[in-house]
Structure 1
Amino acid sequence: MSGSIFGKHFTVSTFGESHGPAIGVIIDGCPSNIPLSKEDIMKNMVRRKPGNTKIATARKESDEIEILSGVFEGKTTGAPICLMIRNEDQRSHNYDHLKDIYRPSHADYTYHLKYENRDYRGGGRASARETAARVAAGSVAMRILDELGIHIKAYTKALGSIVINDNEIDYNEIANNLLSMPHAQKANDALKLIAQMKEEQDSIGGIVECQVTGLPVGIGEPVFDRLDACLGQAIMSINAVKAFEVGEGVKASSMKGSTYNDAFYTTTELDHYGEANYKSHGFSGNAHPLCKRVLKHTNHSGGILGGLSDGSPVVFRAHFKPTPSIAKPQQTLNHNLENVEVSIQGRHDPTVVARAVVVVESMAALTICDLLLRGATSRIDQVKAAYQH
């Protein structure tokens, strides 16, 4: 099964299945001497793990990380990093009655026809359990971004019909509720909606919005590896994501250019490279255009121009479908193409949105980390700086 490797310079390869002995990830291309501890990873694993029955599956997994290689005395060594998470609460017998049935909106049908051998226990490789490995790898990428002053923050923008408008967002509220919603009252309303879905044996989807701040200008590669294209691939690879937007997204198609375009302006303030860098290029004083800070009055483009970061916050959204595993009776087919009715029992999320917030952050971190390291060789002066002492 190909397609389990992501990235070109900072690469991750995930392994394992939902009901196998373990899942994990191998990271290659991580620079040495990045401070990294088990706690750095676990703080994000806790955000994703199951067990809170108000919003998630009752499956009990500690998601305890084992660092098998690539870290010594609290720092990365430059060698491949192997992280493993043992599965502790598999109940494979819960899926015995589904082994010959194509569950609606699952990968059962497509996997069976492609491989003629599918793991029906919780979806096997297609399970959202695989995203635990992505969060582990993303935590390593976040440590690299921390060193550069780049920060990623995602939150639940909408759950079903409950939508938080831009002017209602309270970032301080994100950590105060189970759903990572930046609005206290709407978070309570969303919890009631989830309870209603559970009672009705149904599920609900929603939107995760993400902002990346501190990103320098020029991250991304023109043409095929544009920043937005790479983010799109990363986010769309997450289970249950059905749409991806940058900036105004689909709204841009109905806007006029005079409204959509982000007008530039500048200040006399030195940019984040500072006066030392400015003077190293032979300039004096503080009024040269190259040293002025370039800003935008609006950010309809979502911080990306021509596929490259423009220095303003990168803003994108991931739209998640409702969880397909529901107890409500549904019509489907079995392997013999006979009409059957299925009711999916067991431990399933009434919504994946809340647990997916940290997965979105992790995939964004992996994407940006990879492009940052690739971009470090875009100019000869940067290559010289790395090798001339």
Structure 2
Amino acid sequence: MAGDSLGTLFRVTNYGESHGKGIGVVVEGCPAGLALSEEDIQPYLDKRRPGQSSITTRRDEADSVEILSGTIDGKTTGTPISLFIRNKDQRSKDYSEMAQLFRPSHADYTYHKKYGIRDVAGGGRSSARITAGHVAAGAIARKVLHQALGVDIIGYVKSIQDLELTTEPEDINPELIETNLVRCPNESLADKMVTKIEKARKSGDSLGGIVECQLRGVPAGLGEPVFDKLEADLAKAMLAINASKGFEIGSGFAGTLEQGSTHNDIFFDDDGVVRTRSNNSGGVLGGISNGMPIVFRVAFKPTPTIIREQETVNKEGRDVVFHGRGRHDPCVLPRAVPIVEAMSALVLCDHFLRFRAYKELF
């Protein structure tokens, strides 16, 4: 199936389905000699896994990762690293009715038209369950970036529907993110978000919102001109996440309301290091990192499966009424945070390895 791989030098290929035996990834291009074990990967999967709180899906998966290849004596060998996560809590019977119809705002119809056949249980390959593989691979990329460059990747929920965090990115305290169920670094706002999600869940509905992410400690020079610009690859990675519907970097769409005289980031010398007084560019200029924090946002739609009756059509094109069932997140935002972080790590690690290959040596 085309489109299952991401990256050039640090390349990740994802495999598996929601209700199959398992899901996973193959990671190619990881430098040899990196200390790596399941314990390095598992904490990030624990943040993404289902069933972790009252505002996430009730599906109970431990998401325990197994390293099948690519390491010896606890270190990477430079060969492909295969990671596997077993599925253990499938309820395929919940989806029997869906074989005959197309769920609103799901990939049922588009997969049917593209392939002529689809895996009904859990959405098969179109399920957000496959993002566990993204997170597992991202954990390896994060370790490479942290050891080589000291990069910190900080994702958090910026908004749930109309509840929005107004704190400037540079003032975010990362230690507050994991102190609440919704992963918003503002306690009072987080409480309101949780209440809003619970209300939507109880009424059989769902909510969307925005995840903001910062990449701190990224050196200047990462990214390729023209088609492989750093922000272009970040956008591709973010829009590959299930339920994502928008991407913006730096000032984003809000920048259209300003003039060049107020929007331009002014350079200055900071003890021999070139920086900018503002960061409307979001840390990227000409598709290449400029040494400032990379700041971007990803918009996620309301979860399409809701426990309410909805009109749709069946495979014969006849009008039918569909009633959602199964176990689903009333809001994907809390679990989307580690996925956004992982995808940014994959892109950044790939561009770091490209940078290292291209950098003038003589």
Q: What interval of TM-score do these two structures reach, taking the shorter chain for normalisation?
A: over 0.9
Give CA deviations for 1:331-380 in whole Å, capped at 9, x if unaligned: 10000000011111110100111001000000000000001111112234
Residues 154 and 174, structure 2, Cα contact 8 Å, conserved in 1: no
For 1:214, the equivalent position in structure 2 comes to 217
Give secondary structure in 2 for the equivalent of 1:327.
Answer: coil
Unaligned runs of 5+ in 1: 270-291, 385-389
Pick aligned residue for 1:259 from 238, 259, 262: 262
Structure showing greater radius of gyration is 1
For 2:176, the equivalent position in structure 1 comes to 173
Task: Output the amino acid matched with 1:221.
Answer: E
Residues 19 and 124, structure 2, Cα contact 8 Å, conserved in 1: yes
* Superposition deviation, residue 169 in structure 1: 4.2
Could you tell me how far apart the structure 2 residues matched to 1:128 and 1:215 are?
Answer: 29
Per the normalisation by structure 1, the TM-score is: 0.91
Residues 65 and 85, structure 2, Cα contact 8 Å, conserved in 1: yes
Give secondary structure in 2 for the equivalent of 1:99.
Answer: helix
For 1:79, the equivalent position in structure 2 comes to 79
* Superposition deviation, residue 53 in structure 1: 4.6
For 2:312, the equivalent position in structure 1 comes to 332
For 1:192, the equivalent position in structure 2 comes to 195
Residues 53 and 181, structure 2, Cα contact 8 Å, conserved in 1: no
Task: Output the amino acid matched with 1:367.
Answer: V
For 1:281, the equivalent position in structure 2 comes to none
Could you tell me how far apart the structure 2 residues matched to 1:380 and 1:166 are?
Answer: 40
Could you tell me how far apart the structure 2 residues matched to 1:215 and 1:195 are?
Answer: 37
C-alpha RMSD of the superposition: 1.0
Residues 108 and 118, structure 1, Cα contact 8 Å, conserved in 2: yes
Correspondence 1:1-389 to 2 at 5 A: 1-147=1-147, 148-167=149-168, 169-267=172-270, 269=271, 292-381=272-361
Task: Output the amino acid matched with 1:161.
Answer: D
Give secondary structure in 1 for the equivalent of 2:184.
Answer: coil
Give CA deviations for 1:131-178 in whole Å, capped at 9, x if unaligned: 000000000001101112111110001111110002584433112011
Could you tell me how far apart the structure 2 residues matched to 1:74 and 1:206 are?
Answer: 39
Give CA deviations for 1:114-137 in whole Å, capped at 9, x if unaligned: 100000101000000000000000
Residues 247 and 303, structure 1, Cα contact 8 Å, conserved in 2: yes
Residues 265 and 281, structure 2, Cα contact 8 Å, conserved in 1: yes
Q: Percent identity?
A: 47
Give secondary structure in 2 for the equivalent of 1:220.
Answer: coil
* Superposition deviation, residue 36 in structure 1: 1.1
Runs of 4+ in structure 1 over 6 Å off: none
Unaligned runs of 5+ in 2: none
For 1:287, the equivalent position in structure 2 comes to none
Residues 35 and 143, structure 1, Cα contact 8 Å, conserved in 2: no
How many residues are matched?
Answer: 359
Could you tell me how far apart the structure 2 residues matched to 1:172 and 1:23 are?
Answer: 31
Could you tell me how far apart the structure 2 residues matched to 1:128 and 1:163 are?
Answer: 25
* Superposition deviation, residue 23 in structure 1: 0.3
Residues 141 and 369, structure 1, Cα contact 8 Å, conserved in 2: yes
Task: Output the amino acid matched with 2:150.
Answer: G
Give secondary structure in 2 for the equivalent of 1:342.
Answer: strand
Residues 176 and 185, structure 2, Cα contact 8 Å, conserved in 1: yes
Could you tell me how far apart the structure 2 residues matched to 1:79 and 1:366 are?
Answer: 17
